[in-house]
Structure 1
Amino acid sequence: MSVVAEFAALLHRDYPSRARRTSSMEFQAKTERLGDIQAVIFDVYGTLVDYWQNAFNDEEEKGALLRSVFTQTSDFFHFTPFLEKINPSMSPGETLFDFYHNLIGMKHEEARKKGKDFPEIEIDEIWHVILSILENNGYVPTGYIEDLPRNEAARIVAYYYNFFALNRGFFPEVFATLQALRQDNISLGILSNAQFYTPIDMNHFLREQSNNTVVDLYELFDLDLCFYSYQYGIAKPGEFLYTRLLSALKSMEIAPSQTLFVGNDLELDMMSAREVGLRTAFFTGNKESTFLHGRGEEFVPDLSFSHFSQLPEKVSFHGV
């Protein structure tokens, strides 16, 4: 087990998944059931994982929440006196907030200049730079990141911040649904805007929902059908990840029309998937993180569902 995986296990032990009451919504669909589906590909955040915090409904409240988590991160890793030294006129949390978002903005701008329309960064690289700045101002890593190579320390700090910045946990019945689809001989995959911590978290969520009968997501998902944006430096809705998926499907002799993409965002998920020939299933289990982008009147997905227990009833490997 890697150092960051061990650290993640400690946090998941001490802070179990935080379930929220969410309000679903209904959405029109072309049909109630699809047959001849040989692969189902999932988005992660807002689809499998409920990441939404109530504060995200308001930009000011969201900013305040994230600043508080930066402050918590600063205190936990003992950054605070060094951030105060770097910028005495701002709180440590505010300084860390600015470092983080400015560095991400710079990385995105560099990528766009190289022709990437939908750039993705590796978030641990951002924390690697922040640690370098802190160490140049006298900081010596302590506690969980003491004596670690900076790249591993950066991953632990990145994991900690993200762990507390987002609500974390699978939506109800995700594991049972994945299991039912697999039992119907359907291959499962992931195509998502994600970071290194995404598979780590999903392993924990699967263990929780399966009562430890499944300990690794690749017991259910086909590794060859899993694509995370951070690995390629390109995010949805760019075509690159979908092109990689189509190539993998072709090697498995699965046609795009036999593949269902499940997501919670009409533009990033549904419209992009349909453009490359995939069938679409719109998940509306949390209306706060169901994104229409004003396209609800013009786009009708093949399927729509608001609870994961409904999906196996709507999809079949065989004919309808």
Structure 2
Amino acid sequence: MFTDKLRPFLKKIEPIAIRPTDAQAKYKKAENIKAVIFDIYGTLIISASGDIMQDSYDVSMFSEALSNSGYKILVPENKLMSIHGIFEKVIVLEKQIAKDSGTPFPELNLVEIWDSTLKKAEADGLIKSSDFSNIRLFTFLFELKSNQVWPMPGLKETLNDLKTKGYPLGIVSNAQFYTPIIMNYFLYGRVKTDEFIDGFEKDLSVFSYKILKGKPDPLIYEELVEPLKKRGLKPQDVLYVGNDMLKDIYASSQVGFKTCFFAGDMRAYRLRKDHEQASKIQPDYIITSLEQLKDIL
């Protein structure tokens, strides 16, 4: 099973520590908050890049990910770096096609992008696929190698506290299929591939790769308006927690959510001072630790 293939690699994930920011927490007891929606990368999990993007990569990452996912390498290892050049060209092309079709901030499904990339690499004679080749496994392994992740301090305790208090929890995240897998493993030690995170409401979970739109497009947040309405909730009843003043705070505020800026890790401390609107907006709350949410809610 696919899950059996993932578990050994998940067990190899190593801890990383936060890098504290110089931000000052600013919050008080909230009133009239009835649901809490979270960003993931840089908010619920520490990310070496501070986001879902790659932190670093080298030829060994390609070699290990290819070999462990059933691809045969046909060239000297140092030539494998050209695969990333193919990957970047496919990304640029597909994003431009989406923008030309009217999507200002397109998100791509990386499984499809890597599939196109590796097929081109095979046509170029760099690798050879086999009956055992698994593009989802390659995508997952390359992510684990190129962007180290670890649970944010206080993650489990904070989520458990909010669930105990009865808050519906949701997600709006620039994410890929492996993101819920990683989260379920961090939270519960489970390896699941149903692409939802246990403990979060399915109807309040929006992952960019599924709708092919990404932050800071407010439309990704508007995906929640109707599900919230069915629950008898309005956007102003919702607190959105994220680490990016543009993608999280400004964009979610355009839909009417109350906002909480998470300034807990320097890698993901995105003030966006170069963005005219995002640099001027004031979040409703600023926290430097997830556990401070217990005091707000």
TM-score range, shorter chain: 0.7 to 0.9
1:203 counterpart = 2:184: yes
Which SS does the other structure have where 2:169 is aligned? strand
Determine if contact 2:80/2:126 at 8 Å carries over to the other structure: no
Tell me, what secondary structure is at the counterpart of 1:191?
strand
Q: What is aligned with 2:42? A: 46
Is the alpha carbon distance of 1:18 and 1:234 closer, same or farther for their aligned partners in structure 2, counting shifts above 3 Å?
same
Given that 2:98 and 2:106 are in contact with CA atoms closer than 8 Å, whether structure 1 keeps it comes out as yes
What amino acid sits opposite 2:284 in the alignment? D
Change (3 A) 1:218 1:155: closer
Question: Which residue in the other structure is 2:87 paired with?
Answer: 100
1:8 CA displacement:
2.0
Partner of 1:194: 175
Give 1:258 deviation, angstroms: 1.0
Change (3 A) 1:27 1:219: same
Contact (CA 8 Å) 1:82, 1:134: kept in 2 or not?
Answer: no
- After TM superposition, the structure 1 = structure 2 runs for residues 297-308 of structure 1, keeping only pairs within 5 Å, are 298-308=280-290
Residue 264 of structure 1 deviates from its aligned partner by 0.2
Partners of 1:80 and 1:92 within 8 A in 2: no
Query: Could you list the runs of 5+ residues in structure 2 that have no partner in the other structure?
Result: none
Selected match of 2:292 from 299, 310, 320: 310
Instruction: Classify 1:53/1:110 alpha carbon distance in 2 versus 1 (closer, same or farther; 3 Å).
Output: closer
Which residue of 214, 221, 236 maps to 1:235? 214
Are the counterparts in 1 of residues 104 and 217 from structure 2 also a CA contact under 8 Å?
yes
Q: Which amino acid aligns with 1:46?
A: G
Please list the CA deviations of residues 67-122 of structure 1 after superposition, one character each: whole Å capped at 9, or x if unmatched: 553354355557674355xxxxx932420110111111111011111111101110
1:283 counterpart = 2:262: yes
Give the 3-state SS of the residue equivalent to 1:156 in structure 2.
Answer: helix
| Counterpart among 55, 62, 82 of residue 74 in structure 2 | 82
One-letter identity of the residue aligned with 2:178? Y
User: Could you tell which deviates more after superposition, 66-75 or 168-177?
Assistant: 66-75
> What residue is the counterpart of 1:6 in the other structure?
4
- Quote the Cα distance in structure 1 between the aligned partners of 2:227 and 2:254: 17
- Normalising to structure 2: TM-score of the pair? 0.87
Contact 2:48-2:55 within 8 A present in 1 as well: no
Runs of 5+ unmatched residues, structure 1: 85-89, 316-320
In structure 2, C-alpha distance between the alignment counterparts of 1:128 and 1:117, rounded to whole Å: 24
The answer to whether the Cα contact below 8 Å between 2:41 and 2:47 also exists between their aligned partners in 1 is yes
Residue 7 of structure 1 deviates from its aligned partner by 2.3
Pairs within 5 Å for 1:253-272: 253-272=232-251
Partner of 1:22: 19
Distance in structure 2 (CA, Å) of the matches to 1:286 and 1:229: 23
Superposed CA deviations along residues 196-246 of structure 1, whole A, max 9, x for unmatched, are 1111111111025xxx7xx99644111110000000111011122111111
Specify the code of the residue in structure 2 equivalent to 1:250: K
Indicate if the aligned counterparts of 1:73 and 1:160 stay in contact, CA closer than 8 A. Answer: yes
Match in the other structure for 1:70: 62
Residues in 2 aligned to 1:251 and 1:107: alpha-carbon distance in whole angstroms: 35
**More off after superposition, 178-187 vs 126-135:** 126-135
Q: Return the offset for 1:24.
A: 3.1
Instruction: Provide the secondary structure at the position in 2 that maps to 1:50.
Output: strand
Match of 2:132 among 147, 171, 177: 147
Question: Which residue in the other structure is 1:222 paired with?
Answer: 201
Tell me the TM-score normalized by structure 1. 0.81
What is the percentage of aligned positions where both structures have the same residue? 26
What is the deviation of 1:308? 1.4
> Which amino acid in structure 1 is aligned with residue 129 of structure 2?
P
Q: Do 2:218 and 2:252's aligned partners in 1 also have CA atoms closer than 8 Å? A: no
Partners of 2:59 and 2:73 in 1: CA distance: 17
Q: How far has the Cα of 1:134 moved from its partner? A: 3.9
Across the aligned residues of Structure 1 and Structure 2, the Cα RMSD in angstroms comes to: 2.8
SS in 1 for 2:151: coil
Q: Could you report, residue by residue, the CA deviation over 1:242-288 in whole angstroms, capped at 9, with x for unpaired residues?
A: 11111111111111111000000000000111111100011111022
Aligned partners of 1:20 and 1:263: how far apart in 2?
A: 19
Structure with higher helix content: 1
